[in-house]
Structure 1
Amino acid sequence: MKIEKKILVMDWLDDYAGSEQVVKYLHQKYNFDKVYVLINIMPKENLKKIFGNTEIPIETTFLKIFGSKFRAALPLFPFFLKQLKVKEENALIISVTHSVVKGISYKKSSRHISYLVARNLKYVWEEKELYFKGIKKIGSFIIPSMRRFDIRMSKKPTVIISVSDFVSNWAIDKYKRKVHTINPPVNVDDFEYCEEKEDFYVSVGRLEPYKRYDLLIDTFNKNGKKLVIIGDGSLMKEFKERANKNIEFKGYLFPEESKQLLKKAKAFVFCGKEDFGIALIEPQVCGTPVIAYGSGGALDTVVENKTGIFFKEQTVASLTDAINKFESIKFNCKSIREHSLGFSIDNFKNKFHKKVIETLELD
């Protein structure tokens, strides 16, 4: 197939986070001609981080009338998605999605690769209790129809790729079609390698319920070991009141300050369940081992007893056992660093492009 246009599709543009970094590297590789999104409310300085100084056409929908409250229009996402149609012929379409745009309409002459950066629409699947609670519970009647819609949309892409085996297995189960795994990239050049570790543990993330910082704090309250928590969130005040003096809250730190702590820590501890979790790779780039809940995307990024330790249950007892086991093992910092380099930007681009070539050769 001869490509005439290269098209990027995203659910929305509002913040510069993990998905947007993936898009930045894909744009470096494919130099997209146009972008389709449900809504674009991203500041121009963040758009430049993704697409550089060249202005790229961005087509949106009437979802923009909701402004920053657009997520409240979840029941209407199917309606707005119908407005988003790739008009170009002979296009290579790459969608980067955690919500609905894998179901975008396009011409028969084009090919569509959908990259699932998370379990799509997980707020109507396993995590419905997190989203439909309190006053929002009255909206839970939409869940069955949204699930049916999600399954229908999954049939539209030519090929589906996901960020982890965890997400791939989930999508295979829900969508009943083949899904490939390509782990997202980490800018390994951004992190310094360090073998001289200090006597403290570190964790980085948003202080929100699903990250399970309650478990982390309760465990370190009990063992008395020094823990540094980097990040902010709705539970910051509650966690500060809950924590003993051996636990230090840094709040938001600029990347350079955060990286210094990642490279000096004896281990990075993570208690949540992520679809992938780039945060688990970054300390490994520094040669820092990881103690993580052994589920989700962590299984793609941590090699047990070589680059880190898993705990099997989200309990204080299980995490305590993992920390004790960790302290009985001498980890090889160089081996940890070498493992992490497999998640480099170049490796990601090469693996992704190989799948693009295969897709363009399909009849």
Structure 2
Amino acid sequence: MSTASPSVALVHERFTDWAGSEMVVEQLAHEWPQALVHAPVVQAETVPAHLRPRLRPGRLSPLARPGGGYAHLLPLLPVAHARTRLPDVDVVVASHHAFATQVVHATDAPVVAYVHSPARWVWDREMRRGEVGGAAGEALLGAFSAAFRPADRRAAGRVHTLVANSSAVAERVERWWGRESVVVHPPVDVDSYAPDPATPREDFFLLAGRLVPYKRPELAVRAATAAGVPLVVAGDGRARAECERVAGPTVRFLGRTTDAEQLDLYRRCRALLMPGVEDFGIVPVEAQATGAPVIAAGAGGALDTVLPGRTGALVPEGADGAVERWAQVLATFDADVDPAAVRAHAESFSRARFRARMREVVTAVA
């Protein structure tokens, strides 16, 4: 096998929308321009045009519902990954957040798994609460999770090298799979989020992104209301109604925003808020790329991306009193940080750095 330029095949969970994990695959495809990209479910319209010619859809693709619906295919996805038809290559690189490590059963080549997280809903009961379908849906997902856990752990044990996208994910890999991993942070398009010295900071906090329960947007809304500080909410989702219900007069909802509008908000806000515990969290790095400080929950990916006192603040997690803790931080937050230092920190998560680190890992395996 060649150690200078190994041949690579790429595997991804599914292409039913375009978010952080898909951006990782895009950068992997950029680093290995000859690599084909395999996934059991592909809806090509969700993928940028430049990547579509390299997609190799699996047989389940025609069964996906319009708009990205794939939940009914859940029991079939592990088998589909295990039966992926792969070319003869030096290394297989799998982008994993649920079933992609099952591709170890489809190849004799060493597998490098980039782990966005072991499937949290498989291993953590709390992540199955509030499942669609109520108690029955939660029970079905729990039964599937219990049956799948041994296979999940076995496949992880056969992966040559596990790459975690944050220190928090590396800890889960060790706890749930019993494996060590190397941390390579995901790529962030920091070049598109440059600071603008001509745009002054204003006196409002910003909450940006999807308004979904696990991101805990209502915590930020309740805290801003309790502290009596201005909060702009840019985003939409099924948690919006609850956020609006608990919001006070200092909270303003913008709904979905364009990329240009979000960039402008990053440049003008006093600080970005990240109340949810993310595996990594791309939005805080985008904000820091503009020089904006970040106030985040002191857990998960924020432990890697936010430097207390230098690029923002971390709010301690606890069993109770979260609103009070956040309200106190918002009421007393001092945004006296060096925007250039904040920007420099964000640049350490660039796309180029990600590609270079992943090439080092894959070349070492080959």
- Counterpart in 2 of 1:75? 75
Q: Give the drift of 1:80.
A: 2.6
Q: How does 1:116-135 map to 2 (within 5 A)?
A: 116-117=115-116, 119-126=117-124, 127-131=127-131, 133-135=134-136
| Partner of residue 183, structure 1 | 185
User: Following the alignment from structure 1 to structure 2, what is the Cα–Cα distance between the partners of residues 30 and 111?
Assistant: 16
Task: State the Cα deviation string for residues 157-190 of structure 1 (Å, max 9, x = none).
Answer: 2111011010011101111122110001111110
1:228 and 2:232 are equivalent in the alignment: yes
SS at match of 1:160: strand
Preserved CA contact (<8 Å) 1:6 1:31: no
> How many angstroms apart in 2 are the aligned matches of 1:168 and 1:128?
21
Cα displacement string for residues 112-144 of structure 1 (whole angstroms, at most 9, x for unaligned residues)? 211012x22211222122437433033122221
Which 10-residue stretch deviates more, 310-319 or 269-278? 310-319
TM-score by length of 2: 0.90
Matched, 1:115 2:121: no
Highest RCO, 1 vs 2 (Cα 8 Å, sep ≥ 6):
2
Distance 2:263 2:314 in 1: 23
* Identity percentage of aligned residues: 25
1:283 matched to which residue of 2? Answer: 287
Structure 2 equivalent of residue 36 of structure 1: 38
Change in Cα spacing, 1:154 to 1:63, as seen in structure 2 (3 Å) is farther
Q: Higher mean Cα deviation, 219-228 or 3-12?
A: 3-12
Deviation at 1:354, TM superposition (A): 1.0
Counterpart code for 2:324: A
Distance 1:211 1:57, change over 3 A: closer
Tell whether 2:243 aligns with 1:239.
Answer: yes
TM-score normalised per structure 1? 0.91
Q: In structure 1, how many angstroms separate the alpha carbons of the residues matched to 2:95 and 2:357? A: 16
CA contact 1:37–1:60 (8 Å) conserved in 2: yes
Runs of 4+ residues over 4 Å off in structure 1: none
Between the aligned partners of 1:326 and 1:84, the Cα distance in structure 2 is 51
Tell me which moved more, 191-200 or 267-276: 191-200
Give the C-alpha shift of residue 246 in structure 1. 1.3
Letter in 2 for 1:174: W
Report how far residue 256 of structure 1 moved: 0.5
For 1:263, the equivalent position in structure 2 comes to: 267
- Structure 2 Cα separation of the partners of residues 4 and 305 of structure 1: 43
2:6 touches 2:363 (CA, 8 Å); kept in 1? no
CA contact (8 A) 1:294 1:312 kept: yes
Letter in 1 for 2:158: K
CA shift in 2, pair 1:19/1:181, >3 Å: same
How many angstroms apart in 2 are the aligned matches of 1:157 and 1:121?
Answer: 16
In structure 1, what is the Cα distance between the partners aligned to 2:209 and 2:42? 25
Does 1:95 pair with 2:94? yes
* 1:123-202 superposed matches below 5 A: 123-126=121-124, 127-131=127-131, 133-139=134-140, 140-194=142-196, 196-202=200-206
> What secondary structure does 1:292 align onto?
strand
Distance in 2, Cα, partners of 1:259 & 1:339 = 18
Query: Which runs of no fewer than 5 residues in structure 2 stay unpaired?
Result: none
Q: Aligned to 1:9, what secondary structure does the other structure show?
A: strand
Gapped runs of 5+ residues in structure 1? Answer: none
Indicate conservation of the 8 Å contact 1:15/1:42, yes or no: no
| 1:57 to 1:252, Cα distance in 2 relative to 1, 3 A | closer
Q: Give the drift of 1:322.
A: 2.1
What is the SS of the residue equivalent to 2:75? helix
Distance 2:211 2:341 in 1: 31
RMSD value over aligned CA atoms? 1.9
* 1:352 has 2:352 as partner: no
- In the alignment, which residue of structure 1 is the partner of 2:326? 319
Deviation digits for residues 216-269 of structure 1, max 9, x if unmatched?
111111122111111100122332232122111111111001100011101001
Q: CA deviation at 1:77?
A: 2.7
